[in-house]
Structure 1
């Protein structure tokens, strides 16, 4: 019996040893009969990988098995390998086509660029996305600090990179400027659940490669929305968390049909009571996309946006007040009734809808030349409403009146402050790239037209103005045009 057990153990150990035997997979990667240095070689099953050397050579050591090996050099090619012995696999990337919906070279950088950057991939976004705005999803990136008015990442949020605020951070969506043309800030609350339609996000720290929109003295945030899918799919995602926070999302894609067309969409609703008192949020958003692809051509038509209603929670609070009334205290909308009791106005809210329309055309002409052209239009309209206690009539276009022989010049009132704006334009670029040179020429033309006006919708004592008569009005118009050129090439030092 002992001999039988010994023999069985010997066979098991021998089998295990054979199963774990390592083999060498090596080869050369070329394009147009030229060796390609710096090609990423990834084993998709294990995540292991390497890069080709100056002669385009690579080498991997793996156990026996079946593997999907992905070779990436801007474009990519995946080859299935059944490894049972040492094997040489040479790869030719000459005819491999670029995934054109990721060709945004005028604003994107890679490992060869002298820019400090970080990428947030679709898989990483999915792991973290429970309804929080994009700045909160970026809080683990280096040199970033995020804040949230409501205290739980839903509603008004902001990000600072290396100490620079939103006005010094350039934000683009598919290469189209997103920063507000007047304040230069970015209001993520208007794009609820945009993360669910984001394929990739790149944060460039410092001046970066900003070319369209606001100047990037502090950082650039480049968002690339979902790529087209070759297979049809549909999904529904729901999440629930603290402070009655919940997210409901439905997505679909037709997949690529007739080898050229794809349609996709998303609808989302996010609600939260907020950590701060009364800081509730309700964010509704959508994303629709139509894609046409044909060899070197990619055309996308997109429509996305959102509508938000958020109770104001951006007022500052002194430390003494926090000590007295707690960390969740929110002074927004406070007033005192006729009996001197403290009250809070229940509609001290921000209300805004923003809709984006983009038409994108990416074209690859040959292995060296490509171009990008985009037309865009953004429509925004909304207001914030607030209660004013003992407001001065003169500041709101109201006339004083006499009561019991006394002139009355103040009153409690409710007013709304409106924005009604349009932003539209075009961006364009042409790119030449080979092993030694990366040259980009591009530019953009954009125009902003925004109306500002205010209305008094309630007064406690005074006579209201005529309905919808504004107590202030002004219009802001801004047009900008830019042309740029960028060249990148390696410096060879002997």
Structure 2
């Protein structure tokens, strides 16, 4: 851990001491005017490679502190004017541009639909913007969480061990159930579980034009509450020139990615069509952890004066072998005594234990050849962006998401009556158990509408305001079917043994405004009202001893919530490129489905969670940092956060009858820490970006629950302060990038994550050890005469070949003698591996 702290701190200090030999990230500045009158245009939006990087000031001026080497697109948009795209090239010398926007005949680009929910320097929150180029250089086919690995306070993990298939992301220790995700302002989180399953949208990153990660509560969003972060994804991109591209990757574990992207450019001055087809396959690092992923993206848009109408559809289909059980602790450690304990308690069969000793850290429990998860998700979005005069704009969308799929499992020695099957009588013999194969299905629709009305007066850049909201409904059928049984008795093929349906209606409205009170002082306010109605009807199959089914349980549920979530902040400019900011925000969210259908025995009904989030920080951005020498750039940010929870839902140590951790509310808990982010560059040789998070994550008065010899839960009478699970106190990420030859970019990416506890007991025997991972990335671009561009890429992950685990889980229950036993599982990550790519632009 000491090494983590030293390396992280050093990486933040080094940019301040670096010599002038660093990568060319020259500043670009300029003035935006009306081509007809010559008047300056304050408040125009400035985008670099699709990501919002600022706005023009009262004098129509803007400054982008550092544009990396290479070709980039600078885009200026302003209501009532045609958008302007300007090619810029990263270079050491400062570039001054004089840009004119043509009034009338404006063509909106869709940013009004996305920026309404995005943070900027006026909203006094902590955020990171990534443009299309940022994502492209990281994209070798791994899932989006892995493309965000170098952003502040982020920890990622992969069930299959190599970033393809089921992956997860945590921000400030909060899992994706507490991270609000939207695509073009439309909620992506599952309405019942609150999770975002990006495995259902493989290669989505290839169609993303910009992405913003807001840490903490952030601004008001559509969909579920942000309890750790928000990830706002935009696929709006208007490329006025026709194009065709293909990206192809091959790598370790027989991993392949192939895609083709195309666009018509602007046809007849009004029409645009863009599309993509993708396929990603991988055998995975873990044994029997294969993924077969397919997706498409298609958008068609019509543009006229002040109007954009765009239809977007995208879909993903995934088939992944089930690797979500992880690896039992004794298989990783080789502890045969502990392994026998797993066998004696029915956690492993004798055969699986013997096989585990042979397979080691790549062990996978399942051997049935179709033990797979199969799911398809189709998204349909219709977006309208409309300028309403010179000061107002409207963004609105209708959406439908159709999801359906199942996971298939082989079940050994199951009781017939737990599957609504009669016992089989053959002569004098009564058969009560059978081997069978079942499928557990989800079949759902998510639909609704969103809107954002934006006010940005041309004559007064002091005020910006948005009124927005959404109405969404989610309908989901949960059911199980037996598709084969050794003894089927009264059941037929696709015998349905449980069914329940759920309906969740969620609507919200919010108003947000920023106002520049003084040239140095700006204030920000945001209020949201959100209402949820949730109903479940039917029965669900529940597990019993050793993973068997104990039968159907009534899960009928009715819940209703109304939340009021205010937010406020202020910014203060200290001087050129320097800013202080502070904000306070309230977020509330409802429990997830499992909290209702599988509550802890004897516990009080679950309550909604509440979060008070204080953020305060300092930013400096210097396009020409003289302290480092000529032709250098510097950015630095220090952000303090204090996230104070009421009734946070946590695992208490209590388990159900198979050891699955159950959640209950804890009265008080908190996360607090500081996030340091630095960037320095100079000339055309080298740059360094670093981020370091130091945090403290605690539950106050935590009381552990264990079981007595009669299998009754016993809760400790005295509480103590304990560390929140999956919350490392140190996380850092560092990227050292250089250009030793023209067209060749070399980057070293170093990630450190402190130790994490697997439950809230802070037990040294139930934790993930700290780990450090070094990756190497190469990108070489050539521009031959027969195509626009060829790019060769190589990503070597885990260069130092470290063995580490990035995720796990634990539970316990008494053995036959009434003694408490603990069973812990881990998710090992791949040792040294590679991905090589070839990209061609026509």
Q: TM-score band, normalised by the shorter chain?
A: 0.7 to 0.9
Report deviation, 1:353. Answer: 0.8
Report deviation, 1:34. Answer: 6.8
1:95 to 89, 95, 103: 103
2:504 to 478, 485, 489: 478
Bigger shift: residues 455-464 or 416-425: 455-464
1:261-410 superposed matches below 5 A:
261-324=271-334, 325=357, 326-331=360-365, 333=366, 344-403=367-426, 405-410=428-433
Report deviation, 1:209. Answer: 1.4
2:493 to 467, 480, 484: 467
TM-score of the aligned structures, taking structure 1 as reference length: 0.82
Deviations 1:64-110 (A, max 9, x none): xxx999685768656799xxxxx997656583957522222321122
The two structures, once aligned, show a CA RMSD in angstroms of 3.2
SS of residue matched to 1:215: coil
1:148-159 superposed matches below 5 A:
148-159=158-169
- 1:105 is matched with which residue? 115
Bigger shift: residues 224-233 or 263-272: 224-233
SS of residue matched to 2:146: helix
- 1:452 is matched with which residue? 478
Whether the 8 Å CA contact 1:251–1:264 is kept in 2: the answer is: yes
2:144 is aligned with 1:134: yes
2:439 is aligned with 1:431: no
SS of residue matched to 1:100: coil
Q: Partners in 2 of 1:26 and 1:195 — Cα distance?
A: 29
Whether the 8 Å CA contact 2:185–2:222 is kept in 1: the answer is: yes
Report deviation, 1:170. Answer: 0.7
Q: Partners in 2 of 1:363 and 1:148 — Cα distance?
A: 41
SS of residue matched to 1:123: helix
Q: Partners in 2 of 1:293 and 1:483 — Cα distance?
A: 28
SS of residue matched to 1:108: coil
2:290 is aligned with 1:256: no
Relative contact order, CA 8 A, sep 6+: which one is greater? 2
Report deviation, 1:323. Answer: 2.8
1:488 to 499, 502, 514: 514
- 1:205 is matched with which residue? 215
2:235 is aligned with 1:235: no
Report deviation, 1:330. Answer: 1.1
Deviations 1:228-261 (A, max 9, x none): 2211111222110000000110111111111000
Q: Partners in 1 of 2:45 and 2:484 — Cα distance?
A: 65
Q: Partners in 1 of 2:445 and 2:54 — Cα distance?
A: 48
2:185 is aligned with 1:175: yes
Q: Partners in 1 of 2:310 and 2:443 — Cα distance?
A: 27
Report deviation, 1:36. Answer: 6.4
Bigger shift: residues 101-110 or 419-428: 101-110
Q: Partners in 1 of 2:111 and 2:287 — Cα distance?
A: 42
SS of residue matched to 1:471: strand
Q: Partners in 1 of 2:48 and 2:441 — Cα distance?
A: 55
Whether the 8 Å CA contact 1:41–1:69 is kept in 2: the answer is: no
Q: Partners in 2 of 1:270 and 1:200 — Cα distance?
A: 22
Q: Partners in 1 of 2:31 and 2:369 — Cα distance?
A: 68
Report deviation, 1:391. Answer: 1.5
Whether the 8 Å CA contact 1:228–1:262 is kept in 2: the answer is: yes
Q: Partners in 1 of 2:131 and 2:389 — Cα distance?
A: 28
2:156 is aligned with 1:146: yes
- 1:420 is matched with which residue? 443
Bigger shift: residues 484-493 or 434-443: 484-493
Q: Partners in 1 of 2:241 and 2:501 — Cα distance?
A: 47
Bigger shift: residues 184-193 or 362-371: 362-371
Which entry has the higher C-alpha Rg, 1 or 2?
1
Whether the 8 Å CA contact 2:214–2:229 is kept in 1: the answer is: yes
Number of residues of Structure 1 aligned to a counterpart in Structure 2 = 444
Deviations 1:277-304 (A, max 9, x none): 1100000101111011113111110111
Q: Partners in 2 of 1:115 and 1:393 — Cα distance?
A: 56
Report deviation, 1:51. Answer: 9.2
Whether the 8 Å CA contact 1:68–1:78 is kept in 2: the answer is: no
Q: Partners in 1 of 2:415 and 2:131 — Cα distance?
A: 52
Report deviation, 1:367. Answer: 3.3
Query: Unaligned regions of 5+ residues in structure 2, if any?
Result: 1-27, 65-70, 89-94, 335-356, 522-842
Query: Unaligned regions of 5+ residues in structure 1, if any?
Result: 1-24, 61-66, 82-86, 334-343
Whether the 8 Å CA contact 1:456–1:464 is kept in 2: the answer is: no
Q: 1:393 to 1:78 in 2, by over 3 A?
A: closer
Report deviation, 1:133. Answer: 1.1
Whether the 8 Å CA contact 1:299–1:362 is kept in 2: the answer is: yes
Q: 1:464 to 1:368 in 2, by over 3 A?
A: same
Structure 1 consecutive aligned stretches of length 4 or more whose deviation exceeds 3 Å = 25-44, 49-60, 67-81, 87-99, 402-407
Whether the 8 Å CA contact 2:108–2:308 is kept in 1: the answer is: no
SS of residue matched to 1:322: helix
Report deviation, 1:221. Answer: 0.7
TM-score of the aligned structures, taking structure 2 as reference length: 0.49
2:227 is aligned with 1:217: yes
Report deviation, 1:327. Answer: 1.3
Report deviation, 1:402. Answer: 3.5
- 1:3 is matched with which residue? none
Whether the 8 Å CA contact 1:105–1:431 is kept in 2: the answer is: no
More strand by share: 2
- 1:18 is matched with which residue? none
